[in-house]
Structure 1
Amino acid sequence: MHYFDNAATTKPYAEAMHTFNKVNEEYYFNTASIHKAGRDSAKLLEASRKQILQVFGLPHYQCVFTSGATESNNIALQGMLRRKKRFGRTILVSELEHPSVINILDHHQKEGFKVKFIRTTEAGRVDVDHLKSLLDEDVILVTVMAVNNIIGSVQPVEEIREALTDYPKVHFHVDATQAVGKVRFNYDGVDSVSISAHKFHGVKGAGALMLKEIKAAEPIHYGGGHEFDIRSGTVNLPAVTAMAKALRLSVEGMSNDKERLKDFNRMIREEMEALRSITIQPSGVPHIINLSFTGAKGEVVVNALSEKNVMVSTTSACASKRATSNETLTAMGVDKEVIDGSIRISMSKDTTHRDVKMLIRSLKEVYEEIGDVLK
């Protein structure tokens, strides 16, 4: 199989799996238990927490372990809106966000919050000047992802943080799911940052929410008071320790992986740009390419490639079954015909030269197979 859907999920590192299995076997105890085995497990949990914050350059933040970025986004946004609603009702959000952000805000509009969308440039980036024009004393939340999951555009996180300096009431949340191990950001000063382990070669079921101030969050469900009373439920210690290992390995290998993926990205673009009826979107990271078979349907292309044992996607896996146009490409002003024919190719450290050659060959074969549609 030739796998090009790494923006949806990645294969765990062998080292992360080893950590996961070892902790399951030797530290299967409840970290909240007060006996020695529980205390030893709790020490391992805290060591993982400390390592994650150090890797992010946020040693003075708090790290709450969750099941993934969707839960982290829910805790950060829902809890914050509860606390801040007496100070204002306006939320500024990019048009590029994941459903786990957009759907939260849609729900809270029913409670009287006012959502305003920040415009998107043709390059798929947040328009910072438009953001500045929307800022006023009623704004309590700005939420922007670090790297877009559809085209790979890198968002101006640090510029936005600077723009918010004169608005201390505003909570700035960043969904960093697609950025970890791909792009270096300075998150210091951002109020909350969410991540998900399986996006950077950890195991599924683990994520984290990093908070500048723990009081900025409130629980969205209640139980035994785990994780600073923010996220109750027995902590998944094996997955958390595997996440800490995967994070360290991803950051350490970032530079080498980036250069190799840049070469692969260039190879794919050069081969596909030569074909009529192919449209390729701009990007900011080498591991994601969004291209369109203009005039065809993206689902048709995905299925045709799947028959050739090449796995790509049309959009975010969390939204791929919705019969709506892609929000990112729509926000960029892309023609509907191009949007309908779009597919996402996403690579990782596991992508090989052989994989890329097979992808290019298969893309050309599908292009020929559906040629009548593209004319």
Structure 2
Amino acid sequence: MGKLTATSVKAVKEPGSYSDGDGLFLLIGKRGGKSWIVRIQKDGRRRDIGLGSAKKVPLKLARERAAEVRCQIEAGIDPVAERQKAAGIPVFSEAAKLVHAEHKASWKNAKHAQQWINTLETYAFPAFGNRSVASVDAAAVRDALAAIWLEKPETARRLRQRINSVIDWAVAKGYRENGLALPVIDKALPKQRVQPKHHKAVPYTELPLFMRNLRENESMGRLALEAVILTAARSGEVRLAEWSELDLEGAQWTIPAERMKAGREHVVPLSQEAVSLFERMKAHKRGDTDLVFPGQRRGKPLSDMTLTKAMRDMGRNETPHGFRSTFRDWVAEQTNFPDAVAEMALAHTVSEKTVAAYKRTTLLEKRRELMAAWAGYCEGASGSNVVSFGQ
């Protein structure tokens, strides 16, 4: 027999909680609002599950709902998730797959798209994949992250970002009211000691000799590697370069926005040495592709490993991407070119204030001078190690 009656439920006004027994409580807020909850204790964890407003749910129905919730809990069923599922709210794993499908076309490569969902499948789905996306809370996310936070710090940070993307999507879709309390989660996790990860780079002092050794044999991988060095571009930008992007008469290469890391079109001024390299590449043109550096498979570009293998064959353990660091170190230590010019040559994002300090056309010409000086240094030209640049 319950402690409350229909009459007492209507009569009581004082804010607080009033027990009916078996975990059923009538809650009265500071403003007089009345609602029902059932308190469940399972596996050492307490949960308060709402059963509705006392204005709409009479005492008898509240008792019936409380009994139903207790039965579900004992059977291993999450009553909140079941209620949300009935309302059409997806579980987290379903929501993640929907987010992945919506964003997949916007990502630059298939590998990243697959890694995005794989991370969630491996670390988030086992923890709370079957929970409604509306009920995934900070505690559940923190526990999933904590399992790999120190062991796999970079993976954990990516997992955090991807979980948050799914939750933000759920908020935008109206499946939940609020996003995750990320500051709370971050404070509840141990501090990571992240060591900066640098690509191994050939010292610029060794580059002229490296270039001579590189040209001793000719292969598609070595030719592409030479283009990476002379243009200071990313290896992926070179491997996917197309003839339609090149203006050899105007000595420039325009890389479209969709292939750039920053998502902006980038114009690379070509030195005479770079133009000569691309002229040599005309002998390797294939009718089935517009790629400047075609791979062995029909219509496919070179793999990044092809460039790495070219370096390993030369007895080097550095990475192709490291030549961007080689270039940047040379600019800083051996020239007087402004940092902004070097950063734009590398297609790094710089502040609007910096951009405003230079005229766009002048920047292109300054970069053209820089790339010519760099090519001269790579060739071992006398006096090209120090470049005088008028401010």
So what's the TM-score if we normalise by structure 1? 0.24
What TM-score results when the alignment is normalised by the length of structure 2?
0.24
* Structure richer in strand, relative to its length: 1
- Bigger fraction of residues in helix: 2
Higher relative contact order (CA 8 A, sep 6+): 1
